[in-house]
A and B are shown apart, each in its own frame.
Chain A
Amino acid sequence: MQWNSVGEFFAMGGYAFYVWGSFGACLLLMVAEPFLARRRLNEVRKSLIRERLADELELQQKSQ
């Protein structure tokens, strides 16, 4: 390992802005994208469940 201290690690030999700017952007987008994909799946699931409940309710009212 070439780092003597935590500060040296974060300084990245003077390239901190460029290195952390790159890794940070990757982290940000690669956390946001799965979150958004997951939310899209959950939303369509939720609306399908609502739809089914509405159908069942309608059926119950008809049979009464």
Chain B
Amino acid sequence: MSQSIIQWFRFGSPQAFYPLAGRMIPWFWAAAAVFGFAGLWISFFVAPTDAQQGEGYRIIFVHVPASWMSMFIYLVMAFWAGLGLALNTRVSGMMAQSLAPTGALMAALSLWTGALWGKPMWGAWWVWDARLTSELILFFLYLGFMALQAAIDDPRRADKAGAILALVGVVNIPIIYFSVKWWNTLHQGSTINMNKAPSMAQTMLWGMLLMALCFWMYSIAVALTRVRAIILERERHTDWVKHAVE
């Protein structure tokens, strides 16, 4: 195996990853602040009023990023969980555990902002349609993952059980993503499509992308902070941890 791949495996050890994560966190916070400032500026002061939805459409600037992140974080979480299951690398399971609360938060925000958008536009806070229901299931998958891990005392066994749940739950992600195509739903189709030009004003699109980048950087920063806590909690009996804190 080449030297560079072995280098990457080094960070699979908590001892090597703990200080690395600590050095990375400020940079992700800085990026989140820059993207967030630019995104909010465009969201409120540059993007024009929507012809149909007036100012109410501005919810899109937090609703879409939160929804994207709720799905993306799940994929990343399942990836780490699967990697931990396959290679038995210790940090992988900790990363999966660290991502779950942030993913749950994004799913909750997606549902909350969706309800606040649905009420004035559709006349209902909630409808049992495919997109909304599958997103609600995603929220429950996060909660289930967290509850399952919390219920098992041995962290390595908790990782394994959680990994199975996370991997089985992955099937829900394409269901959410394609739900607006597969079923007749009240939810509008995707705003951004790989095959055709986006069906919205350029400035609206930029605002949404910048806010999504902000949410992304935020998620990495907070997940890295939490994984550092998890590393110390799980490795507290080891010698290196005793010298890592001062």
The count of chain B contact residues (Cβ–Cβ below 8 Å) is 38
Given known pairs A18-B117, A22-B117, A26-B62, the reply for A41 and B225 (CB within 8 Å) is yes
Q: Is the CB of B62 within 8 A of A23?
A: yes
- Interfacial residues of chain A within 16-64, with CB under 8 A of chain B in the complex: 17-19, 21-23, 25-26, 29-30, 33-34, 37-38, 40-41, 43-45, 48-49, 51-52, 55
- CB pair B222–A37 under 8 Å, yes or no, is yes
The interface residues of chain B, by DSSP majority, are classed as helix
Tell me if B226 and A40 are in contact (CB < 8 A).
yes
Contact of A15 among B55, B102, B233, B241 (CB under 8 A): B55
Evaluate contact between A22 and B222: CB separation under 8 angstroms. Answer: no
**Cβ–Cβ < 8 Å partners of A13 in chain B:** 49, 54-56
B99 to chain A, nearest CB (A): 12
A18 and B222 within 8 A (CB): no
Cβ-defined contact, B113 with A25, below 8 A: yes
Q: A14-B54, A19-B55 are in contact. Are A2 and B119 (CB under 8 A)?
A: no
- CB pair A38 B66 closer than 8 Å: no
A37 and B226 in contact, given A30-B218, A48-B232 (Cβ under 8 angstroms): yes
- A53 nearest CB across to chain B (Å): 11
Give the interface size class of chain A: 20 to 34
Partner of A19, one of B46, B59, B108, B241: B59
* Contact with B228, one of A21, A29, A41, A55 (Cβ below 8 angstroms): A41
Whether A18 lies near B59 (C-beta < 8 A) is yes
Interchain CB contact (< 8 A) of B233 among A18, A19, A29, A44: A44
Which of A1, A38, A41, A51 is packed against the most chain B CB atoms within 10 Å? A41
Least CB distance from B229 to A in Å reads: 4
Smallest beta-carbon distance B143→chain A, Å: 15
Q: Mark B59-80, 1 if CB is under 8 A from A, else 0.
A: 1001100100000000000000
Known: A13-B49, A13-B54, A13-B55; 5 extra A-B contacts, CB below 8 A, are: A3-B45, A15-B56, A33-B101, A33-B102, A52-B242
Please list the residues of chain B having a beta carbon within 8 angstroms of any beta carbon in chain A.
Answer: 44-46, 48-49, 54-56, 58-59, 62-63, 66, 101-102, 105, 108-109, 112-113, 116-117, 119-120, 218, 221-222, 225-226, 228-229, 232-233, 236, 241-242, 245-246
